Each structure stands twice: as C-alpha cells, then as structure tokens.
Amino acid sequence: MEPSAASPDAPEKARVLLVDDKAEHLLALRAILDRPDYDLVCARSGAEALAQILRAEFAVVLLDVVMPGIDGLEAARLIRERPRAQQLPIILLSADADDPEKVARGYAAGAVDFLAKPFDPRVIRSKVAIFVALFRQTRETERRGEALQASERRERELAEALYDVTFEEAPIGIGHADTQGRWLRVNQRMAQLLNLQRDDLREANVADLAHPDDRVRLLEGIAAVLAGKEAHHRGEYRFMRKDGSVAWLVVRLSMLRDRRGAPVALTIIEDVSEQRRLADSLQVSETLFSRLQESGLLGVVFESAAGTLMQANDAFLQLIGHTRDDLERGDIRLSELVPAEYDEVEARAREEIRLQGVCRTYEKELVRKDARRVSVLCGASSTLLPEPGIVCFALDVTERRQAERERGHMLRELRAGVRARDDFLAIAAHELRTPVTPILVGISSLLLTVRKAAEPLAPEWLQRRLAPIDRAAHRLDRLIDTLLDVSRVTVGPMRLELEEVDLCGTVREVADRLRMELERAGCALTVRADGPVLGRWDRLLVEQVVSNLLANALKYGAGHPIEIDVSATDDAARISVLDHGIGIAEDAQARIFERFERLVSVRHYGGFGLGLWIVRQIVESHGGKIEVWSRPGAGSRFTVQLPRIAIRQPAPRLPEVTQ
Ligand code: ADP
C-alpha cells in the first residue's frame, strides 16, 4: 500500500505497523495511536508483518512478542534481515517485559524498545511519536541530500555541456593530451591551425608536428609541466602544416585532471603567424625609420594635439636653427615656424590629416630662429604615440630651390639675349646695306660713264659724283668700327691707354670732324669749351664718347640746334650734349644704355642700338658716370662726368650669348 497522497502543505503521513494476533489488541492500539498524520497498518502474524514491510516503508513497528507461528522475536530478526528495514525501529510488546532474559533476547533480535502489557497509552504515544519524528527527520535529510546531489549533477552536466560547446566553438585551438604528451582530444580550430583532420591527431604526440628546430624546446616545455616543475608553460613555436607551410603558434600548456583524477595536460594553441609577420614588418619599418631619423637627412618632429613641439631630431632642430633647450622649454610652436603666406597650404594639409590620417607631401618655407627662411619638402601623418598628435618630416630643399631660381633667371636672360641677338642681326644687316647701296650704285654709274667718255672727265664733275660714295664709305667704316668696338668691349676688360688729354680740344676736334654732317642735318652747333680741361684718360675712347653723343644729337635732333658744354671741378670734368630733338620717354631712359635697346624704328633712324651702351662702358671703365635728362618733343641732355684721373674699373660681366 502506497502512502495516501497528502495535501501539499500537510506533512506526509508516517506509516506505523501494528502487529498482534489478537484483534482486540490491534483495535486498542489503533485507538491509542489514532492521529491524522499516522497511517496505521495492521498485521495479524509475523508472516503478514514481513509481507507488509516488503511492500512499503514504515516509520516504526509495534510487534507483539507472543504470537502463534513466527513469534515476535523471530519476526524482529527476520525484519532486520531485510536490507530496507535494517534501520526500522521495532518496539516489542509483551506481558513479560519485566523478564530480563526475554528483554535481552528481544534487544538481541533487533528491537529498540520493550513495552510491557497492559500498555500505558501515554507511553506508547510518546515513544511512537519519537520514532516517527526521527523517521521524518531521517527522510527529510535523505530527501535534501538527494536534491543536492541532483542539482550538483545537473550543474556538472551543464558545466560539461558548456565546456564541450566552448571547446568546440572556441576560436583558438584547444586540445587535451595525456601524460605522455599524446593527443586525447582536439577541437576543430586546432585541427584547422595544423591543417589536419582530427583523426590525424589522435595518438600523435603534441611535438610531432613541431618544426624540427623547435621540437626539442617544446618537448622540454611539455616535460616540465608534466613533471610538475612548472604549473604552466607558454612559448611560441613553429609548426609544420600538412601543405608544408610554417605556422607560428603560441602554445600554452597546463596540467589538469580528468574526471577520474588522472592527470591530463591541457594545450591551448593560438595562431600568431599574422601577429608575428606584422611584428616583424613593424620592426623592420621601425628600424628603417630610426635609421632615417638618425641619418641627419630628414628632420622629424612630433607635434602634440595642443600644437607644441614635443620631440624633434637633431636634423629638424638644425633646420630651424633652434637648440634642444628651446624645444625642451616648449618654446617652439610649429605654426610660428611657418610664414603667413603658407597658411592656406598648411590648413589644407591639416584638413587632409584630419580626414585621411595623412597628407600628401608639399613644399613650404620655415622661418629659422635667425629669421632666415629655409625651403622644405614636408609631409605629415597623425599618430597616437607617444600621445595623440602629428608626426611631420621636413627635407631641406633650399639649395635645390635656389638652383632652380638661378636656372630660371639664366634661362630668361638667355632667351632675352638670343632675342636681342636676332634683332641685332636684322638691324645690322639693314644698317650695313644702307651705305653699301649708294657706293655700289655710284661706282657702277661712274664706271659706265668712264667707259663711254670720249674725253677726260672734268674734275669738278668727278668730285660731285665721288662725294656721296665717299660719305657712304665713311659711314660704312664707322658702322664697322662700332661693331669692332662692341666686340672689343665684350671680349674682355677694356684696356685703357691713359695719357693727358684736354677735353675741350677733344670736343672741338670731334665737332670739326662732324661739321659736314651737322650742316647737312641742319643743326647749328654751339660749343662752350673754354679749355683747357685736363685729365688722364684714353684719348681715343673719350673721342668716341663725344662723337657718339654728338652723332645721336644730330640724328634725333635734326633741324634743331645742339649745344656742347665742357666744365670742370678740381676732381672731375663734365661734358653735356644738349639737343632739341624728339626726346626720350621717362620710363625708357634707363633702358637706352643697354645693348641693342632702341626706342625708334630702324626705318626712320638707322643704328645698332649700341652707341650709348659703348659710351656707358667707356665712361664707367674710367670710373665716371653718364646721366640723361629728357622730355619727349623737347630734347635731351646727356651729361658725362669723368674723374680727372681715370680710376680703372673692371669691365662689367656680360652674357655669353653675344660672343
Ligand atoms: P642707336 O644706334 O639706335 O642710336 P644708341 O645706343 O646710341 O643706339 O641709342 C639708343 C636709343 O636711344 C636710340 O635708338 C634712341 O631711341 C634713343 N636715343 C639716343 N640718343 C637720343 C637722343 N639724343 N634723342 C632721342 N633719343 C635718343
């Protein structure tokens, strides 16, 4: 019979087995022990009692000693033999409870108490109550123990399931090996790392796949952990993959015990090939960078987020002319090193760094401590080390820039020279042809006349015909002289043959030579040269100065008077040539002393554009100077000043193109 289902709150009913062959005794016992939390079960014999005990669990048995068949003592002994009833409390009931012999036999048979008949109901109730309470307590303890075991089992199962999932799904290789270092179990990732099927690893040794050069080291690590010398071992080892490639793996070994307590080595393997490759390449680039930084070729500087220079190499400090003390005091600000005109370029570079972490290389200038500027090619990138900021490099390109500027300047000069030479050739061709034509035409017609003439030609006629030829020949001669002068001045320093010269005499002589031409040009000449004005000069060259200035005055001032004045101080002599001709625009006045510079068209006014340039060379080589005053339409005054004793000047350097 199963215990009746109790309500959830009511305590489980405790079964009490009452054994007596007499029905009235059983009835009396039932009456005494009637309680709602007791389930009273009656048996009329020892055999029936045994059957009941086999069927259900009892809290206590009240067993009559004197019964026909199996008596109480025998029944007690048999009950004790049942495994599930070994702890069952048996209270023997007897009229002979005072007989010590019987009581001793009863206890020997397994009874826990001996009650005398007739019963005292209070004694029976209290004794049964004690045993029931004990039974209940034992049952409760057992129940709690079972519940605890069940929850422990569940937790263990959960932990194992969790471990299994973790083991399988872990992104790192995990394996268990036995104390011989042989694999017991490996997860999927481990097989992947070693490029093997899981079955390939079973029974294999952990070190089997290690690179031959690393195997001994790994075996030593395994042995140290297995022998308990090290609690854990960690090392990086190369392993050979099935395809022959090498993988760098971090192996961690630790000792753990399996469920039966047998030691198992746990191995965890991580693939660090990529980290290793990155670390190697990082090291290479760091080495390269530090070599570059130390080489002194490249300035490297770190700017903090606050705009302060934190670190700079010697090359950078040299570039900006600051000392390391300036840097350490935090005095140098990168923004102050860059001139304002680079603000826009600089802002663009910083924006690029903000958006892309790096900016393209660009050129700018840096202002040194001594205020000089250096041209640099620079680039920059954001960095987090040593703290968030920008790392910049700067390469000094000042010399290159300077060379480029010079090259550009030379190129411009060269082009101008070539252009001037071409212009000159065109002008020279035209100029030389101008006197040649009247010579050729005059001589041809003269020859013709001579051949045809029957009688000698009259001298007056001949003179008339020869005069223009003579003039043209002289003009040609002067032009050729001018060209020779140019080449003389250009080829090397002008050689001065100094002697005492009277400037007034020279002016008068030149004026005399040009008398005919002045007349033809309709220029009345006034010479105010009440000399002598003496000095040590090169006579021929001074003559040429006067001649060129007078020739220009009659060319550009034809039909107007010309005035020449010679004057002197203690130290210097002065000649001024004034005409009332076309004049020279103010902005062109400086140019006319340069080679080939002409303000007028060759068709209206002949000339090479060299006369004034030669004058300037001669005057300056004597240590003197030439000035012009002029107003367009009103005329020009050229004034030459010469020191009384020529101070020889080195010839000016000239572009080579004219050679
Ligand atoms: P050119 O052979 O052309 O006269 P110059 O060197 O003597 O060469 O003079 C250079 C230029 O200066 C002339 O082409 C002319 O335009 C201007 N110039 C020189 N002298 C005078 C002057 N007295 N009056 C006006 N222009 C002059």
Closest CA to ligand 1's atom 12: 592
* Ligand 1 neighbour 611 (Cβ under 6 A): yes
At 559, is the secondary structure helix, strand, or coil? Answer: coil
pLDDT at 652 over 50: no
* Ligand 1 neighbour 553 (Cβ under 6 A): yes
pLDDT at 6 over 60: no
pLDDT at 658 over 50: no
The region of weakest confidence among 201-215, 369-383, 622-636 is: 201-215
Query: Among 558, 575, 566, 565, which residue's Cα sits nearest to residue 524?
Result: 558
251 or 483: which leads in pLDDT: 251
Mean pLDDT, the chain, rounded, equals 85
pLDDT at 651 over 60: no
CA of residue 592 to ligand 1 center, whole Å = 7
pLDDT recorded at residue 655: 39
CA of residue 557 to ligand 1 center, whole Å = 11
- Give me the mean pLDDT over the 192-196 stretch: 82
User: In the structure, what pLDDT confidence band is assigned to residue 294 with cuts at 50, 70 and 90?
Assistant: confident
Q: What is the pLDDT of residues 255-279, one digit of tens each?
A: 777 667 777 766 777 766 667 777 7
The region of weakest confidence among 394-398, 592-596, 655-659 is: 655-659
User: In the structure, what pLDDT confidence band is assigned to residue 186 with cuts at 50, 70 and 90?
Assistant: confident
User: In the structure, what pLDDT confidence band is assigned to residue 612 with cuts at 50, 70 and 90?
Assistant: very high
Q: Please state, in angstroms and rounded to a whole number, the distance separating the CA atoms of residues 81 and 74.
A: 11
pLDDT at 50 over 60: yes
* Ligand 1 neighbour 431 (Cβ under 6 A): no
Q: What is the pLDDT of residues 450-478, one digit of tens each?
A: 888 888 888 898 898 898 899 889 888 88
pLDDT at 488 over 70: no
Q: Please state, in angstroms and rounded to a whole number, the distance separating the CA atoms of residues 373 and 579.
A: 51
Q: What is the pLDDT of residues 218-243, one digit of tens each?
A: 888 888 887 778 878 888 888 888 88
CA of residue 555 to ligand 1 center, whole Å = 8
- Give me the mean pLDDT over the 35-53 stretch: 93
pLDDT recorded at residue 564: 97
Judged by phi (left if over 0) then psi (alpha if -120 to 50, else beta), residue 261 lies in left
Which DSSP category does 658 fall into? G
DSSP 356-403: HSEEEEEEEEEE-TTS-EEEEEEEEEEE-SSSSEEEEEEEE-HHHHHH
pLDDT at 123 over 60: yes
- Give me the mean pLDDT over the 131-142 stretch: 91
Residues whose CB falls within 8 Å of the CB of residue 71, separated by 6 or more in sequence, listed in order? 46, 65
pLDDT recorded at residue 97: 67
- Give me the mean pLDDT over the 603-619 stretch: 85
Q: Please state, in angstroms and rounded to a whole number, the distance separating the CA atoms of residues 308 and 388.
A: 12
CA of residue 658 to ligand 1 center, whole Å = 20
Mutate-to-test residue for ligand 1 from 549, 599, 613, highest number of ligand atoms within 8 A of CB? 599
At 186, is the secondary structure helix, strand, or coil? Answer: strand
Query: Among 64, 105, 61, 68, which residue's Cα sits nearest to residue 87?
Result: 61
CA of residue 508 to ligand 1 center, whole Å = 22
* Ligand 1 neighbour 635 (Cβ under 6 A): no
* Ligand 1 neighbour 592 (Cβ under 6 A): yes
Q: 10 Å Cβ neighbour count for 399?
A: 10
Closest CA to ligand 1's atom 19: 552
Report the C-alpha dihedral over residues 53, 56, 59, 60, rounded to 10 degrees. Answer: -20
Q: Report pTM.
A: 0.43
First vs last C-alpha separation in the chain: 141
pLDDT at 657 over 70: no
Q: What is the pLDDT of residues 550-564, one digit of tens each?
A: 999 999 999 999 999
* Ligand 1 neighbour 46 (Cβ under 6 A): no
Q: Please state, in angstroms and rounded to a whole number, the distance separating the CA atoms of residues 267 and 206.
A: 9
User: In the structure, what pLDDT confidence band is assigned to residue 492 with cuts at 50, 70 and 90?
Assistant: low
pLDDT at 9 over 60: no
pLDDT recorded at residue 173: 81
C-alpha dist (Å) from residue 273 to 237, 251, 280, 409: 10, 13, 10, 58
Q: Please state, in angstroms and rounded to a whole number, the distance separating the CA atoms of residues 139 and 251.
A: 52
User: In the structure, what pLDDT confidence band is assigned to residue 648 with cuts at 50, 70 and 90?
Assistant: low
482 or 378: which leads in pLDDT: 378
- Strands of the 373-383 sheet, one edge to the other: 309-312, 299-304, 389-396, 373-383, 358-367
pLDDT at 413 over 60: yes
* Ligand 1 neighbour 41 (Cβ under 6 A): no
Q: Please state, in angstroms and rounded to a whole number, the distance separating the CA atoms of residues 75 and 95.
A: 17
Atom of ligand 1 at shortest range from CA of 583: 25
Percent of the chain scored above 70 by pLDDT? 92
Q: Please state, in angstroms and rounded to a whole number, the distance separating the CA atoms of residues 542 and 548.
A: 10
The number of angstroms, rounded, from the C-alpha of 504 to the middle of its chain's C-alpha atoms is 79
At 528, is the secondary structure helix, strand, or coil? Answer: strand
pLDDT recorded at residue 288: 74
pLDDT at 420 over 90: no
Which DSSP category does 501 fall into? E
pLDDT at 182 over 60: yes
Query: Among 390, 388, 293, which residue's Cα sits nearest to residue 335?
Result: 390
The region of weakest confidence among 33-37, 112-116, 174-178, 213-217 is: 174-178
* Ligand 1 neighbour 549 (Cβ under 6 A): no
Atom of ligand 1 at shortest range from CA of 609: 8
pLDDT at 251 over 80: yes
* Ligand 1 neighbour 613 (Cβ under 6 A): yes
Q: Please state, in angstroms and rounded to a whole number, the distance separating the CA atoms of residues 609 and 592.
A: 8
pLDDT recorded at residue 649: 59
pLDDT at 68 over 80: yes
Q: 10 Å Cβ neighbour count for 409?
A: 10
- Give me the mean pLDDT over the 490-510 stretch: 85
Closest CA to ligand 1's atom 11: 598
The region of weakest confidence among 2-6, 537-541, 623-627 is: 2-6
Closest CA to ligand 1's atom 3: 609
* Ligand 1 neighbour 609 (Cβ under 6 A): yes
User: In the structure, what pLDDT confidence band is assigned to residue 489 with cuts at 50, 70 and 90?
Assistant: low
- Give me the mean pLDDT over the 158-171 stretch: 83
Q: Please state, in angstroms and rounded to a whole number, the distance separating the CA atoms of residues 579 and 563.
A: 7
Q: Please state, in angstroms and rounded to a whole number, the distance separating the CA atoms of residues 567 and 435.
A: 36
pLDDT recorded at residue 11: 65
